[in-house]
């Protein structure tokens, strides 16, 4: 009977997935639907329930604030706080114990996940709300669903905000270090209601005697020499001597003018001026 139940569920899932669902709408994609058994249901979630060879028991319902639905023959059934797989077993047991069906084959598909979601905002491929499924609630997994950081525009830093132990929570994660061989940054575990934000990548501004003046993305550990190369190098009139960098103190707001070496690292929002050679 297990193979029959699984075949029935896959057929039902295929129907749902051909309707055209998307992560940005809070509905499950095909890949997410395949992993939904471990999803913990909660208030606001929408489910589609079907019982094999009993179409009169098919139902689409939304869990109320108490995490319950009204189901034919069984009345009020609380599904909140248990997984989709356990919810199937609970309804099947109710139908069997009530002598309504001898061997009920129950399938539940999550068609609207709102109880356990995180929001992904900013410069990512697909901003939106994404469901958390047990075993797939890591930062890297949610970022993958959101299409990753926008290349050439988004910052490497992912800001996570939410609530932990009843208190406001905020954490900055250097996303590149999650995949570093040293494992210097753990793959953070997300919780319901978290918000992920990817800001614009830091920039520097170059003007004066360079081939391409203007703003450029500040890549990690970029030196003055590398920034000059990114700007196409010096013009025929430019000189490497006496290059000045205007750097604002983030605490006081005061702008300091320094003359860094070519191998010194630049900071976000640095303004670099390359002067004309006197000879």
74 neighbors 91 (Cβ within 8 angstroms): yes
201 neighbors 218 (Cβ within 8 angstroms): yes
- The β-bridge relationship of strands 244-248 and 271-274 is antiparallel
Rounded Cα–Cα distance for residues 28 and 36 (Å): 9
Q: What is the dihedral of CA 20, 25, 28, 31, to 10 degrees?
A: 80
* Fold topology of 203-274: Outer membrane lipoprotein wza fold like (3.10.560)
49 strand-pairing partners:
59, 108
Q: Is 227 helix (H, G, I), strand (E, B) or coil?
A: helix
* Per-residue burial over 121-141, b = 16 or more CB atoms within 10 Å of its CB, e = otherwise: ebbbeebbbbbbbeebbbbeb
50 strand-pairing partners:
107
pTM, two decimals, is 0.61
Which of 8-12, 242-246, 274-278 is predicted least confidently? 8-12
136 strand-pairing partners:
133
DSSP state of 238: B
State the DSSP H helix or E strand holding residue 120, giving kind and residue range, or none if neither. Answer: strand 117-122
Phi, psi of 228 (to 5 degrees): -65, -40
- The CATH number of domain 2-112, selected from 3.90.209.20, 3.30.1950.10, 2.60.120.650, 3.40.50.720: 3.30.1950.10
Percent over 90 (pLDDT), the chain:
53
Residue 33 has pLDDT above 70, yes or no: no
Residue 10 has pLDDT above 70, yes or no: no
Alpha helix positions (H), 18-161? 30-34, 84-97, 139-145
Residue 266 has pLDDT above 90, yes or no: yes
pLDDT tens string 102-125: 999 999 998 887 778 899 999 999
Sorting pLDDT into bands at 50, 70 and 90, what band is 75?
very high
DSSP state of 153: T
Average pLDDT over residues 176-187: 77
pLDDT at 16: 43
Q: Where are the domains of the chain?
A: 2-112, 117-200, 203-274
Q: What is the dihedral of CA 94, 100, 103, 106, to 10 degrees?
A: -60
Rounded Cα–Cα distance for residues 255 and 242 (Å): 18
Tell me, yes or no, if the two domains 2-112 and 203-274 fold the same way.
no
State the DSSP H helix or E strand holding residue 196, giving kind and residue range, or none if neither. Answer: strand 195-200
The architecture of the domain spanning 117-200 is Roll (3.10)
89 neighbors 165 (Cβ within 8 angstroms): no
Long-range contacts from 58-64, C-beta under 8 angstroms, 24+ separation:
60/111, 62/112, 63/115
Average pLDDT over residues 27-45: 67
pLDDT tens string 197-241: 999 989 999 999 999 999 998 888 899 999 999 999 999 888 888
């Amino acid at each position: 009977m297990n193979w029959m139940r699984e075949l029935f569920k896959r057929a039902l899932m295929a129907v749902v997935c051909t309707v055209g669902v998307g992560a940005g709408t809070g509905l499950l994609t095909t890949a997410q639907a395949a992993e939904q058994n471990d999803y913990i249901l909660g208030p606001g979630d929408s489910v589609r329930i079907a019982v094999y060879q009993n179409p009169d028991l098919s139902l689409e319902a939304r869990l109320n604030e108490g995490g319950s639905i009204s189901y034919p023959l069984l009345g009020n059934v609380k599904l909140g706080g248990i997984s989709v797989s356990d919810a199937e077993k609970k309804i099947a047991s109710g139908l069997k114990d009530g002598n309504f069906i001898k061997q009920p084959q129950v399938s539940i598909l999550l068609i609207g996940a709102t109880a356990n979601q995180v929001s992904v905002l900013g410069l990512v491929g697909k901003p939106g709300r994404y469901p958390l499924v047990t075993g797939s609630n890591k930062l890297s997994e949610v970022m993958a669903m959101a299409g990753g950081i926008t290349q050439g525009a988004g910052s490497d830093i992912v800001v996570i905000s939410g609530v932990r132990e009843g208190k406001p929570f905020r954490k900055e994660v250097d996303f590149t270090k999650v995949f570093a061989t040293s494992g210097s940054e753990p793959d953070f575990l997300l919780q319901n209601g978290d918000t992920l934000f990817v800001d614009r990548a830091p920039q520097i501004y170059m003007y004066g005697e360079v081939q391409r003046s203007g703003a450029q993305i500040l890549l990690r550990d970029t030196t003055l020499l590398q920034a000059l190369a990114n700007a196409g190098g010096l013009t025929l009139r430019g000189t490497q001597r006496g290059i000045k960098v205007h750097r604002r103190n983030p605490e006081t707001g005061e702008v300091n003018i320094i003359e860094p070496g070519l191998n010194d690292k630049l900071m976000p929002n640095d303004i670099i001026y390359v002067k004309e050679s006197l000879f």
